[in-house]
Structure formats: C-alpha cells, structure tokens
Structure 1
Amino acid sequence: MEKEKQLPYGYQERDIHAIFKYLQEGCCRRLLYQLPTGGGKTVIFSEIARRYINTSGKKVVVLTHRKELCAQTSRTLSKLKIKTLIVDSSFSGMVTDMHKCVVAMVETLRNRMSEKKIGLGDVGLVIIDEAHHNSFRKLLKYFSKAHVIGVTATPYSSDSSESVESLIAAGYLAKPRNWQPDVELNILEVGPNGDFTVKTSDELYSSNAMLSLLLDSYQNYGKGKKTLIFNNGVATSLRVCQFLNEQGIEARHLDHKTPATEREEILHWFKKTKGAVLTSVSILTTGFDEPSIQCILINRATNSLTLYHQMVGRGSRRLPTKRTFTIIDLGNNTERFGKWEAALDWRQIFENLVAFQETIAQRTAGDSHLIPSEMRSKFGNSLEIAFDVIQAYDNAIESGLKPQTVIRDSIRQHAKICMENSETASQALALSEMLEKEIIWRIKQYAACIGKATKNYRDWLAEDYKRRLRELIARIGIRQAKLRKAS
C-alpha cells in the first residue's frame, strides 16, 4: 500500500498560500523566503512547485549547490508525484516536455547552458535552495521572464517567516540545551574574508588543552548522544577523530575531499549507529538532514552569523523520541551572537548590515590581545595562557587590595603555565624566556591602570617581574622534586 503524502503543517500551509498568492498576482517577480533550519523549507517549495506546475503547465527549475541537495529535493518532489529530472555532473541526456521539474546543481547547469548543451524552454518558476549562496546569480540571465523564489534559513535579508523561538514553542523544532565554557581565542587571526583563519584555528583547536576540553565537554554533556562536530580546519578534524578513537569513542571524519563512495558509507554509518560521533569541516552545514542528531559540538569560532545558525540547526530536527538537543559551544559563538533560539530580527540586520558586522568585529577584538601562534603552540597543555590585567586591577581595588597583587597574580599564572608544559624546572625556566613580549605587554597594561608610571619605572617593573618569575619557577621545581622523592 502506497504511503499517504504528509500534509503541510499549519504554518507551512499558510506560507505556501501567501507565496503562491504573490506568484498568481504577479506583484513580485523575485521573492526571498526565510524559515529556520528544520522548519521544512523543502516541503514548502516542493508543494509550491507542484501547485505551480498544475496551474500554469510551465516548467519549474530548482537550483541547489550540492549533489546531496539534488537527491533530497528530488525525493520530496517524487512523493508529490512530480516527474523530476536531476541535472548534476553525471547528466548527459536531454530535457523533454515530460520533465516538468528540473532539479539542478548550479555550476553544472550554468556550464551546460553556456556551452549550449542543454536548453530549458517554457520555465515559469525558478526556486533557489540555500539562496544565501551567491553562485546562482549568473544563471538568472537565462530565466529573465520567470518568477524567482529564493529559500534559505539564514538570509541576511528582509523577508522572514516563523522564528526559531515560535517553532520550538509549537513543537516543530527541538529545544536546545546550551553549554558554553569561556574559551581563550587570543591567537586566532581574522582573514580577508572576515572570519578566523584555518591556520590559527588549527593551531588552537589541535592543542592538547583544547582536545582535553573537547573530551571533557563531550563526556559531561554529549556522552552516548549522536554527535556532530564542526571544525574550521581539516587538520583539526582529523586530530579530533584520532583523539576520540584513542579514548575509546567511536568517531569518523568527513570533509569536502572525502571520496563520494566513502562519504556515502560514513553518512550511512552515522545514521544507523547509536551514539556515533562524526567530526567534519563545513561540508555538513547545509543540505544535510539527519533528525537523529542529539548533540552539536561547535569546535571552532566564527564571525559568521549565518554559519553559526547553520551549524546549530543541524541538530534542531524534532522527533517523537527527541524533544531536546544539546549545543556545546567551544568558540564563544553564543556570546558573540546570542543564543540560537533567541528572537532575531533579520530585517533589522539586513537594513543595518554594516553596523551589525562592526558590532561582531568589536566583540571579536574584545576577546583579548593577539598572542602569537608560535608562542601558543609551546603552551599546548594550558587551556588559558592570557591574563586580564585590567580586570584583575579592578577586582583588586574593589576588594581593598594593593595594586601590586595584580603583578603577583600575573607572575603566579605565568609560572603555572610554564610548569604545566615542562617536565623539569630547567625546561620551565627556558620556556619562560618566550614570555618576554607578553610580560612587557602586561606591564604596560598595569602602568596604564596605576596612572603615574615613568618609563624607568616600567623598565624596572619588567626586570623585577622576570626575576621573581624565575625564582618562583625554581621554588616550585624544588618542591615538586621533594614530593617525587618522598613518594
């Protein structure tokens, strides 16, 4: 017996009706529709395609930017009894009048049409999935007379529908449970694209300290849950996969270079395996639909609000046995953008985009001053190597302590990280030599706090700081040696 087609939910039917009204009245030839991840965008635009074909008799073209999206969309359209043709890299045939709906990868279709190897006549509607990608724009010249509907979860645009908050309240999306430790990001550098570079992200997130934090976070909040991990670099993802397997946690890695057959096998394993952990790089942020995901672990920082929502949204699908999901944020992204489920005014963001981006940049810059990555790599066993001098000074004054306690506490923190990353006191002393520039920076911050500090006084403070640091490391080394001898 054929399975009956599931009817759209109330909010979906409402939006389908509103969009279709735009098409029928012809008052808007280009429309951008936003719905949060998990809200059923594919169901909505597939139903619009069905109704448009039945009422107009014209063709519909659905554009996607990934092969998996082509297959996913085609399956949904087939359930609606729409004869669909997929145009991807393997396509070499012709489009006939029998095919009222064409689902195509953007680059493939553009190449075929520019080479005049494929023709698409009588197209009345073009639907663009994940329309926040700009790759589709050059294709629109071939469909100048058609209606165009862009569909996305994260538009940076003005037209929007249901909010994440309302879909959670109505029971259509799972409710998130957030956990976010404060992570020190001061070695991360911002690249030309406005986001953190892969190189500095790999250096930070492949460190022993961050791997330990990831493991602790997973064991405390994600253990036994089907978990999807997002990383910024391939090197980090591979290291995370190896590290988790060494800890007895079954994990697999996936990136854009994974062969198609292996990728299919990994995704099948992830779908069927209870408590599976999949660590990835960007590739699963869009067009990936696996409702059984119970935990999203963001093992990276980003300045992209769009990417942040895409990553978290992978875990938001609701199931009868899944009403909540876990978000573990190891990149201070929640602090930067706010909680994923919080109300977000896309129109306000779109109309004030420059100001919004400047605000994000200020929050990023506020994490801390930049620590050279080569220095950070020497302190891989320490989760935090920075010290907020200004905050420590304010705390000291508020508590009625002398300002000099700030220098004392800074020296203690430097001694601690030197010992954490050395096996002997002599190694720790050698490591402390790398802190020269960091010590000078801290002294400048302290001098700014106390106000009246001459250059000679700052120079004396720096030399006294280094002398006291060496003495403290030596004392700690002697104490540790006595403890080892006694045991």
Structure 2
Amino acid sequence: MTPDMFAPEPGAPKELRPHQAVAIGLLKRSTGKAIHEGRRARFMLKLSTGAGKTVIAAAIVQGARTKGKRVLFIVDAISLIDQTVEAFMSQGVTEIGVIQAQHSMEDWSRPVQVASVQTLQRRGKLPPADIVIVDEAHCQSEWLSEIMQSETWAGVPFIGLSATPWSKGLGLLYDELICPITMQELIDRELLCPFRVYAAAHPDLTGVKTTAGDYQQAQLSEAMAAGNLVADLVETWRRYGENRPTFCFAVDRAHAKKIQRRFEEAGIGCGYIDAFTPTDERKDIRRQLDAGQIRVVCNVGCLTKGVDWAIGCIILARPTKSEMLYVQMVGRGLRVNEGIPDCVILDHADNTLRMGFVTDLDATRNTMCTAKRGERTARERPVPLPKECGSCGYLKPPKTRECPSCGFVGEPQSKVTETNDELVPVSRKQAAATRDQKQAWLSQLNWIARERGYSRGWAANTYKKKFGVYPRNLDASATCEPSHEVRSYVRSSLIAFAKRRDRAA
C-alpha cells in the first residue's frame, strides 16, 4: 500500500484568475529583489475569503518544484491537514507527505510536506525545506516565531497567508505586505457575494471588562444570555433570514446551547458545533444543513476559518473588539454559492456599528503591526461607520440619508424640545430615565402608531426624539394605552413638525 492510498485522485491545476496571477507575480518580484539585495525573504500575502488562497498556494508549490525545491506548508490546526492535502491534490500537487502521527501519508522523503504547527512544535524542529508557507499566519505561534528569527532559517523564504494580517508582532516577522486585491474588488467582480447588514437587538455591554484586547468572556456570556436577546435572535431570523442556511456565532458553549434550544422550540432545525465536536458529527451536520433538514448551526469560535459551507445568513451573537475575529465570522457567508444571491448579516452584537463594514476594514488595514504583544499601538485610520435605519434596522453606508432597504429618510434631530408655547432646551442634567420608564414610553408610542396607522419606524423615531437614542434591549412589539403625558408629547411633536414644514414652504 502506498502512503497516499487514501488521498484523492490528482486533478488538473485550475487556470489562475487575473488577481491570482498578480499575486504570484508580486511575490516573485519581491522574492527576487530580496535575494538580490542579500536580505531575508519574509512576505505576508493578504488574501480575503474567496480569493483562492489554496489555488495560489498550490501555484507557489508547483513553481518551487519546477526548480527542484522542497516546500513545507504549515497549517494552524491538525483538523486542516486533510483538507489542505485534498485541495493540493485537486490542483495537481502530488508529491505530498504529511507530518502527523499515524497518518497514512506520513513520508518525510517527499518534497512537499504538510504539517500542523502543533505537531512540529511537539517534535521540536522543522523538516528540511527551501521555502516555508504559513497558513493563517495571523494566528502566531511563539515557537514558530522564534524559528523564523533564528540564524538557521535566515536564508529560507517564509510566505505568510492571511485574510486579516493585523495581529501584533507580524511586522517584526514579515518584512512586506502584499495585497493583490481587496474584498470589495472581489465583490465587484462577483467572486464574493454582496451582503446586507441589519442591526437587531442592541446588547447592553455596560460593565463588561476588556481582557487581552477583547471582551472578558464570562461577563460577556452573562450579558448576551438575557432572555429577550436570545428570543430576538429567533424572531429576527424569521423576519430577515429568508430561511437561508445560517451560521450563528455565540459567546460560549452555554450561550450556543441556549440559542439552539430556542430555535428548536420555535420549530426551526438547529445544529450545534464546538471545538470538541467529532469530525464525523460535523460532516453529518453539514449534510443536514445542505439537505434542508436543519437551517441554523450554532457554534463557538470554530467555524471561522477553513470552512467553505454554502451559507446565506450570518448571525453575530458574539460581540467582539477584535477586527480579525469580526472579519473571519462575516467571511463565512461571503463565498459565492448557487441560489444564494447575497449574504444577510443579522448583527445582534453591534460589531458593525462599532467597527464598520468588513469591506471598509479590509480597505484601510494595509499595514502590519510592529508592536509586540502588550505594547500600545498607534491608532489606525478610523473606518467610516454605518448608520442604522430607524425604520427597518438596515445598516446604511455613512452619509446616506435614504435607507436602501426600505426607503425611510430620517429627520435631523434638534437639540431643543418644542412645545405649543415655547422652545425648551434639553438639559444635560436631566435625570436619566429608567429601563421601565423607557419601555413604558415605547409601548405607548407603539399603541399610538397602531391606532393611527403609522409606519413601523414611527415609534422608534419618536422615541429617539424623546431620549436621544433608538430603543435598545426593549420589547419592540409591546403596546399599552398611552398616558396624557405621552399623548401631549406626540401632539407637540406633530405641531413642531408642521411648523417646520410651513417655514420650509
């Protein structure tokens, strides 16, 4: 039996797309220049989801083999080894050995070696190689970083691959960032699908501490497990998810299980995956999703890379301050799949409102960080933030007045309250309304909207005029009979609007 008896049949290499050929050309030019100048060759290739990273990597390997060079391809997790081997074989790369205990393809004599960084670290060394390719290079291994900076490997080119090369210290390991194409350009060329983002429930993260640059998980889990937030996940998916195959990203296992239970109680088939889910079970969940037996898969941080499932909706139930994690989560829904025209993103975590659209992040983050872990970094150029439509919750681009989804046009909000008789400046020293008081106002405004046949966004916009913000973490469907105070406020607002309209006329 040959070592690769369980490997797939080799295929013919795919013809490179223009941006893939550009990536190879830029890499060759940079490598040649570094060698000519007598310096180390360390390059980071930034490739968004769907750019064809494996096709480009296979082309690099094939180019090295034509010159008789040995190649080491390092993956971030053992679970990605077989997937990488299968992808390389489909591209015509056949001389593959795998460095993994008891793997059927383990053969150190082969000129192309695929290994996980964990296995290499346990064995304490890298195999001989003339070029090393590091997949998901932003997930840095301290052990591998030390090897890259050692004298022994100074003359060997290292190529990092990443969609989000923004982690601290990458600029100390890699000397040049190569960006052959942006995420938006891939969308424009229909190599990635467009997306729509809706801001769903707004979580109250007051008091949630930050640890290592992201929200502290235990406190975050408690904040996101509120019953109204979890219930809103299901209702929002019913309203906007269009029954599409969906990934839901949760905070932790308990949170994901709770969400799964709510979907199932609503009669919606829902799977669950975490880091401990066996490979066979993951495959079965994917089969059920593809067959329509389930519509949603809840997961905890393990479907953010190396996943090419046919997904049409992403539920962000996991707030994060990490731009890398945010882009990785959204990226799972941006691959082009037959019958799925775009990706619907239901952001229950305010990630988009906090960090901007992923396409804007991708376009502005084109430098590698040279700060070490723990060191402060210079502020990045701010990303323009989207605005939430007060009617439908759609997140529209900055400086866009009319909502592209529902056509609603918000009115500029005055800092002055106008009554029948006088203008009353809003005092900053006013006592803040309690949650119960805010809910009472929203419920009464909903009653008036239903009573008068107003549009769905009227209550939310009137609420904002009163409190300065749109309603958050409240029951948006509750109603109760309005008090004299609320009716008077609405009447005054309508009179003020009429006066402004007359003045404009």
- TM-score in terms of structure 1 length: 0.70
Q: Residue 170 of structure 1 aligns with which residue?
A: 189
Query: After the TM superposition, which residues 224-235 of structure 1 pair with which residues of structure 2 at under 5 Å, given as runs?
Result: 224-235=243-254
Helix, strand or coil at the partner of 2:268: coil
Distance change (3 Å), C-alpha of 1:109 and 1:351: closer
Higher helix share: 1
Q: Alpha-carbon deviation of 1:190?
A: 2.6
1:130 corresponds to which letter in structure 2?
Answer: E
Q: Is the 8 A contact 1:63 1:128 kept in 2?
A: yes
Q: Does 1:223 align with 2:242?
A: yes
Q: Alpha-carbon deviation of 1:265?
A: 2.8
Q: Alpha-carbon deviation of 1:83?
A: 1.9
Provide Cα deviations, 1:342-368, integer angstroms capped at 9, x if missing partner. 3622235748982337979xx9xxxxx
Q: Is the 8 A contact 1:64 1:128 kept in 2?
A: yes
Distance 1:218 1:255 in 2: 21
Q: Residue 414 of structure 1 aligns with which residue?
A: 436
Q: Residue 356 of structure 1 aligns with which residue?
A: 379
2:54 corresponds to which letter in structure 1?
Answer: T
Provide Cα deviations, 1:77-99, integer angstroms capped at 9, x if missing partner. 112132212223544986443x1
Q: Alpha-carbon deviation of 1:280?
A: 0.5
Equivalent of 1:276, from 295, 316, 336?
295
Equivalent of 2:356, from 338, 342, 345?
338
Distance change (3 Å), C-alpha of 1:409 and 1:133: closer
Q: Is the 8 A contact 1:180 1:332 kept in 2?
A: yes
Q: Does 1:22 align with 2:41?
A: no
Q: Does 1:150 align with 2:160?
A: yes
Aligned CA RMSD, in angstroms, stands at 3.6
Q: Residue 209 of structure 2 aligns with which residue?
A: 190
Distance change (3 Å), C-alpha of 1:132 and 1:397: farther
Q: Residue 120 of structure 1 aligns with which residue?
A: 127
Equivalent of 1:41, from 53, 68, 73?
53
Distance change (3 Å), C-alpha of 1:324 and 1:108: same
Distance change (3 Å), C-alpha of 1:185 and 1:31: same
Q: Alpha-carbon deviation of 1:206?
A: 1.6
Q: Is the 8 A contact 1:66 1:287 kept in 2?
A: no
1:124 corresponds to which letter in structure 2?
Answer: D
Q: Alpha-carbon deviation of 1:409?
A: 8.0
Distance 2:105 2:54 in 1: 26
Q: Does 1:400 align with 2:445?
A: no
Q: Alpha-carbon deviation of 1:285?
A: 1.0
Q: Is the 8 A contact 2:47 2:181 kept in 1?
A: yes
Equivalent of 1:255, from 274, 277, 287?
274
Distance 2:105 2:49 in 1: 34
Provide Cα deviations, 1:136-159, integer angstroms capped at 9, x if missing partner. 324435644321000000002643
Equivalent of 1:300, from 318, 321, 325?
318
Distance 2:42 2:339 in 1: 39
Distance 1:15 1:274 in 2: 40
Q: Does 1:83 align with 2:106?
A: no
Provide Cα deviations, 1:385-414, integer angstroms capped at 9, x if missing partner. xxxxxxx99454899347589968825x43
Which runs of no fewer than 5 residues in structure 1 stay unpaired? 364-391, 421-445, 447-474, 477-487
Q: Residue 481 of structure 1 aligns with which residue?
A: none
Deviates more, 1:303-312 or 1:143-152: 143-152
Q: Residue 82 of structure 2 aligns with which residue?
A: 71
Q: Residue 109 of structure 1 aligns with which residue?
A: 120
Q: Alpha-carbon deviation of 1:184?
A: 3.4
Distance change (3 Å), C-alpha of 1:9 and 1:246: same
Q: Residue 388 of structure 1 aligns with which residue?
A: none
- TM-score in terms of structure 2 length: 0.68
Deviates more, 1:42-51 or 1:175-184: 175-184
Q: Residue 339 of structure 2 aligns with which residue?
A: 321
Q: Is the 8 A contact 2:187 2:194 kept in 1?
A: yes
Tell me the matched-pair count: 386
Following superposition, which runs of at least 4 residues in structure 1 exceed 6 angstroms of deviation?
A: 357-360
Distance 2:10 2:431 in 1: 75
Distance 1:154 1:310 in 2: 8
Equivalent of 1:31, from 36, 39, 43?
43
Q: Residue 52 of structure 1 aligns with which residue?
A: 64
The share of aligned pairs that are identical, in percent, is 23
Q: Residue 431 of structure 1 aligns with which residue?
A: none
Helix, strand or coil at the partner of 2:15: coil
Which runs of no fewer than 5 residues in structure 2 stay unpaired? 1-8, 172-176, 386-412, 443-466, 468-481, 484-505
Distance change (3 Å), C-alpha of 1:218 and 1:107: same
Q: Is the 8 A contact 1:74 1:103 kept in 2?
A: yes
